[in-house]
Amino acid sequence: MAGQLVLVIDFGGQYNQLIARRVRECGVYCEVVPYRISADEIAARQPIGLIFTGGPNSIYGENAPRPDPKIFELGIPILGICYGIHAMAYTLGGKVVPVAADGKREYGKTTTHYDGNCKLFDGLPSVGISWMSHGDSIAELPEGFEIMAHSDGCPVAAMQNVQKKFYGLQFHPEVTHTENGTQMIRNFLYNVCGANGDWAMGDFLRIQEEEIRRRVGDGKVLLALSGGVDSSVLAALLERAVGDKLTCVFVDHGLMRKDEGDEIERIFGGGAMHFVRVDAEKRFLEKLAGVTEPERKRKIIGEEFIRVFEEEAKKIGAVDFLAQGTIYPDVIESGLGDAAVIKSHHNVGGLPDYVDFKEIIEPLRLLFKDEVRALGGELGLPDSLVWRQPFPGPGLAIRIIGEITKDKLDLLREADAIMREEIANAGLMYSINQYFAVLTNMRSVGVMGDGRTYDYAIALRGVVTDDFMTVDWARIPFDVLNKISVRIVNEVPHVNRVLYDITSKPPATVEWE
């Protein structure tokens, strides 16, 4: 990747993906690499800065991950976060000790005092809330360091060695709970590392186009197009790069939302690529008949998708490349280092072994979801697709509690379409991260007209989140909920009750199944 580079050194922390996202949001390209990376490997990549992540270990623990000590001799600015500050202090001769004799971690929002003479805190208030999550703390600074922030329970909340451009934060600036945390990261990137903000999606598009053409040459590319954001953006990118050398197979399992299959065909069916839409609704419904257990639904749908894809790929003939919509969170969450060698097969979930392809190509594997959406915009895809609501692979099958039938699917499609339409009418489609309807298996007594009814209850779900690791229920205005409810009850047959889910994650999950 051309331009400036920051490497995020992964020590296994739960927020590592957020660190990389924050760096990208600041206009600087970064990649996450395992802590085992050597100083020579780092030097070869010529990064402008390094960020050590947090991690679950104690620096003195058995098999604790530790960086190559020679990294500190490269002359590259380093920011250590949480475990990262411990790794820095320990390696450079400081002393790290448990927070308390009882072994309890310091955790949560903490009032923290900052020294304005530190470049990380330039232009920020002298007091603010930071998010602490650690079991160890620094008792003695390494030579040449000075304390730059503290809290009541943490005497070394930040440290710096200005001469060597080494900085450490005991708290997590990457999480939203830390006030001005992103600005601290930005200050490190621009005030310490000398970043120029050259990470732009237009440049990524140009570079990927050239790379795809070079790799594919005269070969053929096959893509399983689900209609989701990732595969749709990848389809548009591949079509732009290789045109009719691309074949997209869209397996329409009949579990899509209202009119989505037709929209996908309308967008991708008229271009240079070869587009194949497979009507497999009857086949999937037969496989799902009588099945009520959520995990069985998922497995049946996943396996049947592969079987249909296999059959269609055989009709196409020899294929050189299989394209996947793998994105960066998939890579990070699947593990780095020892686990990285198997990641190229992760998203396929059971590759057709008869397809004669040279290799797998994953042009989006270095992008986060928001960056994939930005790339979709660069490619000219409509907002309705680029900002498509997150949709699970099993589709509406896991938004229907109990057995799946064609009638239930049609009922849910109408209710879900009404909710999405009213959310859009209210101008809330970009402020609620995910929203959808669920057909419960609960039936209740109601009164419609002069008659008694005994019909289904629809549950509405809306959530807000930064990362989907945790979510809060969306405070949709009552008047909007009222419009949705009135329309569903009046326009969707066999529904006489509408509920709103006000449960966060945890304890609930986003989806109901």
CA distance 317 to 472: 48
Q: Which residues contact 241 (CB under 8 A, 6 or more apart)?
A: 208, 209, 212, 213, 216
Q: Are 404 and 291 in contact (CB under 8 A)?
A: yes
Helix (H) or strand (E) holding 234: helix 229-242
Q: Give the neighbor-by-neighbor strand order of the sheet with 78-81.
A: 30-34, 6-10, 49-52, 78-81, 166-169, 154-161, 146-151, 106-114, 127-134
172 is catalytic: yes
For the chain, what is the total number of helices (H) and then of strands (E)? 14, 20
82 is catalytic: yes
Residue 329 burial (C-beta neighbours within 10 Å; 0-12, 13-18, 19+): middle
CA distance 365 to 456: 42
User: In terms of DSSP H, where are the helices of 243-389?
Assistant: 260-268, 281-288, 294-316, 328-333, 369-378, 383-386
Q: Are 442 and 449 in contact (CB under 8 A)?
A: no
User: How many CA atoms lie less than 13 Å away from 293 in the CB half-sphere?
Assistant: 4
Residue with tokens 């900052």: 114
CA distance 335 to 264: 33
Residue 506: asked if its preceding bond is cis (omega within 30°), the reply is: yes
Q: Are 249 and 408 in contact (CB under 8 A)?
A: no
Q: Are 393 and 302 in contact (CB under 8 A)?
A: yes
Residue with tokens 């699947």: 334
How is residue 471 annotated by DSSP?
A: B
The catalytic residue among 26, 154, 174, 193 is 174
Q: Quick check: helix, strand or coil at residue 118?
A: coil
The catalytic residue among 26, 30, 82, 248 is 82
Q: What is the 3-state secondary structure (H, E, C) of 364-402?
A: CCCCCHHHHHHHHHHCCCCHHHHCCCCCCCCHHHHCECC
What's the token pair of residue 203? 């440049």
What's the token pair of residue 147? 């304390």
What's the token pair of residue 127? 């007091």
The catalytic residue among 86, 134, 172, 253 is 172
Q: Are 233 and 375 in contact (CB under 8 A)?
A: yes
> Which residues form the catalytic set?
82, 172, 174
